[in-house]
């Protein structure tokens, strides 16, 4: 584990993936027009609140142009969604970007939830959670 991560608390957060072709993908992962938060902002809010040492981005079985759903979701969080995600947790986009890059593990292999759990347990152990 990276020494810099020891300053965070031994907490891990899972961002459960969603098939990239699912109806309402943006609403499920980010938010809806009524302001209800999706999986990503809730996970980031919890990670910031708990000072989590690990955010595990689950991959699932879908991909777009060769990019797994975990990577795609993470890239959207650091791209077009970064400003609103940062505002939601009272951070600058730069600070949130830095934090997410430090603590995130982007799974690119598993395709089943039970395998996700196995990989999460291994990552948690290596992050001393």
Per-domain residue ranges of the chain: 3-126
Residue 83 is encoded by which pair of tokens?
């400003």
CB 29 within 8 A of CB 18: yes
Lowest mean pLDDT among 18-32, 39-53, 54-68: 54-68
Position 38 confidence tier, pLDDT thresholds 50, 70, 90 = very high
Q: Is the pLDDT of residue 109 over 90?
A: no
Q: What is the pTM of this model?
A: 0.83
Burial string for 31-50 (b: 16+ CB within 10 Å, else e) reads: beeeeeebbbbebbeebbee
Bigger pLDDT: 111 vs 32? 32
Cβ-based burial of 56 (10 A; exposed 0-12, middle 13-18, buried ≥19): buried
């Amino acid at each position: 584990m990276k020494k810099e991560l020891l300053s965070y608390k031994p907490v891990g957060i899972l961002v459960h993936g969603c098939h990239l072709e699912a109806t309402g993908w943006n609403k499920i992962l980010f938010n809806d027009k009524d302001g209800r938060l999706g999986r990503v902002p809730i996970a980031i809010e919890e990670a910031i609140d708990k000072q989590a040492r690990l955010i595990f981005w689950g991959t699932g079985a879908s991909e777009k142009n060769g990019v797994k759903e975990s990577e795609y979701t993470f890239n959207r969080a650091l791209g077009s969604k970064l400003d609103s995600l940062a505002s939601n947790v009272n951070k600058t986009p730069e600070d949130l970007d830095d934090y997410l890059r430090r603590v995130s593990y982007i799974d690119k292999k598993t395709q089943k939830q039970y395998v996700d759990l196995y990989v999460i347990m291994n990552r948690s152990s290596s992050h001393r959670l």
